């Protein structure tokens, strides 16, 4: 889909700043990388952040580190001084570079954007506020109150799903007319091209068996312990299956211990972090997501782009809007709202069903067709309008 810009906009261009509190290789940053690379060349882009340990992705933008890192362990006086310094540096950057629009990602960045409000402010909402602030310590109470007050002042709030928009309206009073839902967008041809790259040599023998795959950080949010238990049940019916988990995180030792306790050490493989997870997705026979919460799960859409049949739990936002009521893949109950053992048995049953080649082919076709709705060509115009 071609993006048309007004003649005045096309002549002078738009100067857009994407604002993060911290830049690293996370799903939010990956989504912005996709937006940045999809925008027309008439946009002059900046990625602004206050610290980074691993930028992780490429952006078609100038990278600006204002270098005021945060620290959860500091007291209120230090935090207030840090915040004020961030605000002053952001104001100076916006004015000096004549920025037209500042788009912020994450609660800390969006509160700062709302308070600074030098130009057009756009706040991107990626997960529910409660979940986004879960690790913020005592300051989460302050941020929650600031969200209630400040988000209504923004020029536009962009939730990544309709369910998130409804939460922002119901819980924080953001007017529906001030919000615009824009799903994550993807460069489908690039993903499919990367999916053809060879596997690491040590993983090639593993993929001689039919593979169930999961991609994600090994953290509480992603709920991989439920997948491991479900896989143990499925293996009783389909012992030929193996599970590959691509990612790293603080719970890796716990997940390995659970794997050993279930007698599955030879059947479950921890592949670690890989910059190209698509080569695993394209060679697996199914993808399973067992998250406790998401916004709009990138990896679920990416698995579908690779033509992979998918199973996902119905956490509060994201999977249902991608899969519908199991029209495009298996949607299982929210693992936080139902009896976990019942949900794990349901996941196991879905895994066994997709172990059948005809069933997997059918759901793979449905997944690939649905994934086309999230192509950058279809969605970049939404961001052009928002900016």
Residue-wise pLDDT for 344-353, tens only, equals 999 999 999 9
Does 188-374 match 7-182 at the fold level?
yes
Which tens digit of pLDDT belongs to each residue from 92-109? 999 999 999 999 998 889
pLDDT at residue 11 is higher than 70:
no
pLDDT at residue 43 is higher than 50:
yes
Under a CB-based contact definition with an 8 Å cutoff, are residues 62 and 55 in contact? Answer: no
> Greater confidence, 170 or 128?
170
* Sign of the four-CA dihedral 256, 259, 265, 270: negative
Task: Give the integer Cα–Cα distance in Å for 283 and 61.
Answer: 33
Would you state the pLDDT for residue 134?
67
Q: Map out the domains of the chain as residue ranges.
A: 7-182, 188-374
With bands split at pLDDT 50, 70 and 90, how would you rate the model's confidence at 379?
very high
Which tens digit of pLDDT belongs to each residue from 184-220? 999 999 999 999 999 999 999 999 999 999 999 999 9
What's the rounded mean pLDDT across residues 44-53?
91
Would you state the pLDDT for residue 143?
79
Would you state the pLDDT for residue 12?
56
Q: Where are the alpha helices (DSSP H) in the chain?
A: 7-12, 27-38, 76-96, 107-116, 129-132, 140-150, 162-172, 188-194, 224-237, 252-261, 278-281, 298-305, 319-323, 340-354, 357-371, 376-386
> Which contiguous run of DSSP H or E holds residue 310?
strand 310-313
**Beta strands at 101-105 and 120-125: parallel, antiparallel or unpaired:** parallel
Would you state the pLDDT for residue 316?
83
Task: Give the integer Cα–Cα distance in Å for 215 and 342.
Answer: 23
Topology adopted by domain 188-374 = Rossmann fold (3.40.50)
With bands split at pLDDT 50, 70 and 90, how would you rate the model's confidence at 62?
very high
In sequence order, which residues have a C-beta less than 8 Å from that of residue 360 and are 6 or more positions away?
A: 285, 286, 309, 354
In sequence order, which residues have a C-beta less than 8 Å from that of residue 252 and are 6 or more positions away?
A: 218, 270
**SS3 state of residue 120:** strand
What's the rounded mean pLDDT across residues 7-34?
81
> Which contiguous run of DSSP H or E holds residue 49?
strand 43-49
The residues with which 157 forms a beta bridge, in sequence order, are 123, 179
- Domain 7-182 sits in CATH 3.60.21.10: no
């Amino acid at each position: 889909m071609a993006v048309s810009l007004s003649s005045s906009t096309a002549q002078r261009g738009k100067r857009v700043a994407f604002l993060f509190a911290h830049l690293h290789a996370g799903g939010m940053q990956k989504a912005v990388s996709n937006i940045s690379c999809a925008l027309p060349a008439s946009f002059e882009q900046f990625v602004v952040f206050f610290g980074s340990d691993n930028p992780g992705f490429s952006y078609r933008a100038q990278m600006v580190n204002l270098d005021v890192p945060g620290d959860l362990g500091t007291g209120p006086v230090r935090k207030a001084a840090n915040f004020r310094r961030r605000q002053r540096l952001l104001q100076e950057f916006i004015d000096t570079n004549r920025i037209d629009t500042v788009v912020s990602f994450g609660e800390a960045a969006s509160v700062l954007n709302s308070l600074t409000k030098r130009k057009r402010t756009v706040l991107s909402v990626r997960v529910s506020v409660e979940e986004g602030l879960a690790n913020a310590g005592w300051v989460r109470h302050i941020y929650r109150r600031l969200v209630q007050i400040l988000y209504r002042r923004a020029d536009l709030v962009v939730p990544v799903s309709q369910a998130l928009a409804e939460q922002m309206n119901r819980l924080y009073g953001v007017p529906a007319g001030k919000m615009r839902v824009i799903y994550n967008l993807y460069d489908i041809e690039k993903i499919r091209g990367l999916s053809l790259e060879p596997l690491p040599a040590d993983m090639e023998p593993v993929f001689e068996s039919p593979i169930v795959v999961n991609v994600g950080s090994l953290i509480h949010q992603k709920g991989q312990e439920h997948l491991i238990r479900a896989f143990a049940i499925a293996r009783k019916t389909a012992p030929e299956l193996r599970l590959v988990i691509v990612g790293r995180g603080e719970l890796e030792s716990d997940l390995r211990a659970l794997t050993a306790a279930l007698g599955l050490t030879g059947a479950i493989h921890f592949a670690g972090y890989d910059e190209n997870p698509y080569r695993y997705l394209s060679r697996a026979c199914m993808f399973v997501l067992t998250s406790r919460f998401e916004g709009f799960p990138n990896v679920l859409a990416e698995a579908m782009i690779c033509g992979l049949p998918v199973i996902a739990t119905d956490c509060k936002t994201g999977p249902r809007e991608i899969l519908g009521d199991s029209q495009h893949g298996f949607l299982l109950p929210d693992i936080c709202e139902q009896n976990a053992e019942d949900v794990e048995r349901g996941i196991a049953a879905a895994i066994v069903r997709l172990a059948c080649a005809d069933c997997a082919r059918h759901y793979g076709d449905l997944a690939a067709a649905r994934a086309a709705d999230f192509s950058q060509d279809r969605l970049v115009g939404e961001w052009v309008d928002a900016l």
